Chains A and B, each alone.
Chain A
Amino acid sequence: MDSVRYDRSAPAARVPLALKILIAGGFGAGKTTLVSALSEVRPLQTEEVLTGAGIGTDDISGVETKSTTTVAMDFGRITINEDLQVYLFGTPGQDRFWFLWDELAFGALGAVVLADTRRLADCFPSIDYLEQRGIPFVVGVNCFDGARRFSLENVRQALDLDPDVPLVLCDARDRQSGKLVLIALVEHVARQRGEPVPAG
């Protein structure tokens, strides 16, 4: 780990450790809003260019002729201390960009799945994906104005969540609220590793 965190040849420039957290959920569930609320910098956007030539094909003639599309990914950053930064990546909402998830999920600490009770089924694919890959996650029920309020127990049943998956109410616009969701996730990750994180 030291080789990752510190650059031995230039001790003055310390390379922090980056932790990656995914913000998943259906289209319009509040992913970008949550990233914005939590990020210390204006939310950044990066995009991946997709070509019809097919992924992994190193074929310039393909790039020349095939149509391209870009997938924007929102991300934000939280600096914990000089050695530790948390990156939040909003997952692409559209199903056809599933393959991008593999890259986003690679090495991720865990994920927050935002659920919108008006369209609860929209977050099923995210949950399926994370369960299949064994990525720890919590579900944040985004409380939109005017949305029907369900009891957490009903939501848990509707999502068919494992009993140990934390389910929390949140307001994706609110930094404090979003922060509590992230804390729930990190504590969940710690519990899965067998050692609870003490409060405080």
Chain B
Amino acid sequence: MRTESPGPPHEWLDDAAGPVVRPYTLTGGRVRSSVAGFDLVAYVLAEPDADPAAHPELQPEHRRLVELAGRPVAVAELAADLDLALGVVRVLLGDLLARGLVAVHQPPAAACLPDDDILKAVVSGLRAL
């Protein structure tokens, strides 16, 4: 079941009780993303013509992710912004990627990075802090 309501209402559930939705309810129980990857510091960027409204099956959290990704945002920051577990955000991002709503820019593998110019830039940037 993939509606916003966490299920049949109970008497003891009200606004003050806060969300009782299990973390992976949002993903329909899926705990793994349909695509591998989504490093913590992979950047997510919404496609310029992304229109989440054209996908009524998406959750509000999906739409929020597309909004936030109007500029490049790291996966870890998206999870923090939405206050959702990383694993949940990865599943949702997989949905968006599959629909062509976002692009993901994985960080380069450690073996080929960073070159010396980058390290120099980091050191001088840190010194300037």
Contact = CB atoms under 8 A, between A and B. Distances in A.
A63 B29 contact: yes
Contacts of A18: 41-43, 74, 107
Interface in A1-29: 1, 3-4, 7, 9-10, 13-20
A11 to B, nearest CB: 11
Interface stretch (B2-10, B11-19, B57-65, B80-88): B80-88
B45 A15 contact: yes
A89 interface: yes
Contacts of B114: 17, 19, 109, 189
Interface string B85-129: 111100000000000000101111110111010111111111101
Interface stretch (A113-121, A124-132, A148-156, A192-200): A192-200
A89 B40 contact: yes
Interface stretch (A41-49, A91-99, A139-147): A41-49
Interface residues of A, number: 61
A187 interface: yes
B5 to A, nearest CB: 17
A46 B80 contact: yes
A106 to B, nearest CB: 7
Given A1-B113, A60-B29, A19 B80 contact: no
A55 to B, nearest CB: 9
Contacts of A49: 23-24, 85, 87-88
Given A7-B45, A44-B77, A182 B126 contact: yes
A16 B22 contact: no
B85 A48 contact: yes
A46 B41 contact: no
B56 interface: no
Contacts of B39: 106-107
B122 A48 contact: no
A101 interface: no
A80 B122 contact: yes
Contacts of A58: 30-32
Contacts of B68: none
Nearest to A175: B129
A199 B110 CA distance: 24
A48 B38 CA distance: 14
Interface of B: 22-24, 29-32, 39-43, 45, 48, 71-72, 74, 76-77, 79-80, 85-88, 103, 105-110, 112-114, 116, 118-127, 129
Given A4-B108, A78-B125, A183-B127, 17 more contacts: A1-B108, A7-B72, A13-B71, A17-B114, A19-B122, A20-B41, A47-B85, A49-B24, A58-B30, A58-B31, A63-B24, A68-B22, A80-B122, A84-B121, A107-B108, A190-B120, A195-B116
Q: Which 3 A-B pairs have the closest CB atoms?
A: A80-B125, A60-B29, A18-B41
